[in-house]
A and B are shown apart, each in its own frame.
Chain A
Amino acid sequence: MWLKTLLTVSPAAAASVPKQGRTKWCLWLASIMVVMGLGQLLGISPVDSLQAAEVVAQGSAEVLKGAPELAAADYPRVGNSSSRAVVWILAQMHLFFAAFVLAVPLFVVVIEWVGVKTGDARYDDMAHEFMKVSMTAYSITALFGGTLAFALFLLYPDFMGYMLEVFGSQVLVYALLFFLESAILYMYYYSWYALRYGNAKYVHLSLGLLLNVVGTTLLVIANAWATFMMAPSGVDANGAVTGDIWEIIRGPLWNPVNLHRFIANIAFGGAIVGAYAAYKFLSGRSNTEKAHYDWMGYTSNFIAVLSFLPLPFAGYWLMAEVYAYSQQMGITAMGGILAWLFIVQAVLIGTILLASNYYLWSGMSRTEGSYRYKWLVKYIAIVLTGGFLVWVTPHTLILSAKEVAALGGSHHHLLGPLGIMPAKNIAVNLMLIVTFLSFQLYRRSDKVATVSWAPAGNALMVAIYVIAVVNVIFAGVYYGYFTNTVYKVGSSVMQVVSTLVVIVAGVVIDGMMYKGAKKLPSEWGKVSNRSQYALFALPVAFTWLMALMGYVRSSVRGSWHVYTVMKDSSPDNFIPAIGYAGNMMTIVTVMFLLCVLFVFWIASLSSTKQIPPDSQ
């Protein structure tokens, strides 16, 4: 489809670019077409393969009567180990690395492109260095992916058999795409310096683009498996396939999860490379080295935080779709036994916001111009801490044993306000708004606006902030305490919109106001060592947060492999308590951190050259 669009658009586009640019365009297009052609040869054009899968799925519909019904004895066990724990760890490790390696090329291509546009070679070097880090991670991803598949087939053979029957050759498409992804990835990385200048650079950029197209397709294909398990579509009540593969893939939660994971991956990837930069900064010796890694760390943090800010909104959408699909599932996630977990989530997001704000404030030391805004920092800090405290305070900390017992299955009346969380919604939105303020102040700190309407622009900006804050508080109080809406999730839309308006307006106004602004001197590398720890706090919290959200996403299914279609009769078919889950999350986070350190080490090893012994 998109190939067709590209082809029909191209003549017009080609006509509108100047002559010299035209050859560039053609080269670029040609290279895309060559690769697409290869794909066609191998039979992996997205359109064809979907149709092929469709045929297979329809064929199997006659055979497949429904999902198998299992008893506890049907689950092979290895020794006394909990099969769920094994799969949990392997799946989480695979997902961490997959998220990382899919995300890095996304922003690397953008940075590479910025390098071409600005002609600043530093961007190109940085993009290449980011890729270097993600290359070792790629092999680890595949390694864990393979082990995970093995473990799943070993420990949950009937479940996997059912999934394979349902998804049929879609899985083959996935495997093929995976090979394609590997091939393009290696081509992209190793041709970096071979295709660095002139037209060749565009070939390289196209490779990067293609890499991301394939990578994102991989992501959404794999998402379909997870969302099918939560909200199956294209099958009847017994699990027999009734629809084509497209209906199976496009369940009600597929797109919300796609968006949520796509954004979250970028934030996660940015945070990880940020830690890499911080590590290199701390162990760096020379000033140029420090300056380079300070800048790299800043950029990573910028990527991480910018993609983190819209994440709660993607989360709202996902939760709203969950509620629409099954109110029961929505309540299980937001107001049932899982409700407590949102306190942990608050601690994590609080950590992320505090760390990124702290990093921005510390970064103000890079330029003298920041003295103009320093006075605001303490107010931002107050709002942040206040918001954080409101957010993590549960309405009651002490539950009697009886109350805890009552929680199982039923909803606790003391927990109710947590499920609705009007006060907490106010706090979160205010925290997001002031975080954006920190960011905006930081961006302004080394510039002086020269446009004539600067005072008016500033006044407008201040007004937008004030209105947004008032709106957030009003909406929270009004909807939270004075109306009785069944759908509290939808009621915070007003707050969300206010926050978004601030962010968009801030970007637009500053973009225009600081066009051609006077630059004040600022110096990369002039930042405290302590600030770098914020860049470690970020990935640690992100990793843990991802693990936590995975726990919720899987738990809402309750005792079902595929919700309403295939029962989970294994000994692990209950929702584990948050403490046990937390320990699992810590295990995977620490494992991941160690692997990441290994990746960093390998990355710096590749650029270390031993001095020949005779030259000493």
Chain B
Amino acid sequence: MGTLPKVLGFSLALTLVFTVTANLLPQVEGEPPKEEKVDLGALTMDSFIALGESAFNGKGTCTLCHNNLGRAPDLLEMNVGEAAKERLADSRYQGKASDIEGYLRESMTDPSIYVVAGFGKKGSNDTESPMPAVDKKPIELSAVQIDAIIAFLQSKDGNEVTVALPTEAAVEDSEPTGTVAATPAVAAAATVEEAIAKYGCSACHSVYDTESPVGPDLRDVGSRLGEEEIRQSIIDPAAVIAEGFPAIMPANFAERMTVKELGLLVQGLAAMQ
């Protein structure tokens, strides 16, 4: 064999080794943060907390630092409420917060105002936090997302959740789908439209003028199902699963709705032909 083929062969074989090594490792892609469109009218405290959890793990990249590796306080492991009380009582505390919610918000938007001992930037003697302000670039959480994370952090250890569900006025770019903010204690819906907004049906269903592909279109549900079937679909969604759709419709509407609301909905939907 001539020198050239030998040298080429050797070099290519070596390149192949590197290529194979790279391909044997677990293949993970770093997705850019996805903006989940949140239908505020459809929000319940549970889904708000879930939103917070997903922002904590996803867009917020909190777990990059807040994990069990000692890079930052392990928020998932510790009782955040207790910790917050301790921080507020610390003589080094200079911030303006006076309760847990305030402390958590401050920790996120102005991390350097109080730096947990031992976690400051190197050489800053715990006066400067390595944590980025999460409402600024590159993380850029919205006010709603920050509130949701606070709700998540408060609820995960069974502490009282003090953040209020966001009202639509708080967010300019959310599509108004209802008229009232849906807090758990909100008054019973008086019309079909209100009921649909209150229980967030439009998050999954196309109804009125909003579209959602998750569940079947409700605008013509009356032509497909009778009143009894509609009632069953709401009370016990798992009983009959509409073909081609996942069985993800919440099963607890029956507990949450007033009888009047259920009646309103069933009649209203049946009329949608």
A: residues with CB less than 8 A from B are 237, 279, 282-283, 323-324, 326-328, 331-332, 335-338, 340-341, 343-344, 347-348, 351, 399, 404, 407-411, 413, 416, 419-420, 484, 486-487, 490, 533, 536-537, 540-541, 544, 555, 558-560, 563-565, 568, 573-583, 585-586, 589-590, 593, 597
Contact = CB atoms under 8 A, between A and B. Distances in A.
Binding site of B, secondary structure by majority: helix, strand, loop or mixed? loop
Given A408-B29, A536-B10, A558-B32, A324 B122 contact: yes
A583 B19 contact: yes
Interface of B: 3-4, 6-8, 10-12, 14-19, 21-23, 25-33, 57-58, 61, 63-65, 67-71, 118-119, 121-122, 130-132, 136-139
Nearest to A487: B122
B14 A340 contact: no
A336 B30 CA distance: 9
Nearest to B120: A486
19 contacts: A326-B132, A328-B64, A328-B138, A331-B65, A343-B21, A343-B25, A344-B18, A348-B18, A409-B31, A409-B64, A410-B57, A411-B69, A413-B69, A540-B15, A558-B138, A564-B136, A578-B27, A579-B23, A579-B27
Residue of B33, B70, B71 ringed by the most chain A CB atoms within 10 A: B71
Nearest to B33: A559
Q: List the 8 closest pairs (A to B, CB-CB), nearest first.
A: A582-B22, A575-B30, A559-B32, A410-B63, A577-B27, A327-B130, A564-B137, A579-B23
A497 to B, nearest CB: 18
Contact of A576 (B29, B58, B130, B137): B29
B61 A347 contact: no
A272 to B, nearest CB: 12
A536 B21 contact: no
B25 A536 contact: no
Contact of B18 (A536, A544, A577): A544
A332 B132 CA distance: 14
A575 B27 CA distance: 11
Given A282-B3, A578-B25, A586 B70 contact: no
A340 B26 CA distance: 8
A344 B25 contact: yes
Contacts of A279: 3, 7
Nearest to A569: B32
Contacts of B25: 340-341, 343-344, 578-579
Residue of A335, A579, A590 ringed by the most chain B CB atoms within 10 A: A579
A544 B15 contact: yes
B30 A555 contact: yes
B59 to A, nearest CB: 8
Contacts of A565: 137
Given A344-B21, A416-B68, A582-B21, 13 more contacts: A324-B121, A331-B65, A404-B26, A486-B122, A490-B122, A558-B30, A574-B31, A576-B29, A578-B28, A579-B27, A580-B27, A583-B19, A590-B15
A348 B31 CA distance: 27
Contacts of A563: 138
Contacts of B31: 408-409, 574
Given A348-B18, A582-B22, A574 B65 contact: no
Contacts of A487: 122
Nearest to B17: A347
Nearest to B71: A486
Nearest to A541: B14
A585 B22 contact: yes
A426 to B, nearest CB: 20
B29 A237 contact: no
Nearest to B7: A536
Residue of B26, B29, B70 ringed by the most chain A CB atoms within 10 A: B26
A581 B67 contact: no
Nearest to B68: A413
A447 B232 CA distance: 95
B242 to A, nearest CB: 28
A337 B67 contact: no
Contacts of A328: 61, 64-65, 132, 138-139
Nearest to B121: A324
Contacts of B63: 409-411
A585 B18 contact: yes
Contacts of A343: 21, 25
A413 B67 contact: yes
A536 B11 contact: yes
Contact of A537 (B14, B70, B119, B136): B14
B7 A282 contact: yes
Nearest to A401: B26
A274 to B, nearest CB: 13
Nearest to B32: A559
A590 B8 CA distance: 10
Contact of A484 (B11, B17, B70): B70
A575 B18 contact: no
Nearest to A410: B63
A37 B74 CA distance: 62
A574 B7 contact: no
A579 B29 CA distance: 10
B122 A337 contact: no
Contacts of B69: 335, 411, 413, 416, 419-420
Contacts of B68: 413, 416
Nearest to A417: B69
Contacts of A323: 130
A582 B138 contact: no
Contacts of A324: 121-122
B26 A399 contact: yes
A568 B137 CA distance: 13
B118 A486 contact: yes
A482 to B, nearest CB: 13
Nearest to B119: A486
B187 to A, nearest CB: 40
A336 B14 contact: no
Contacts of A348: 18
A410 to B, nearest CB: 4
Contacts of A409: 30-31, 57-58, 61, 63-64
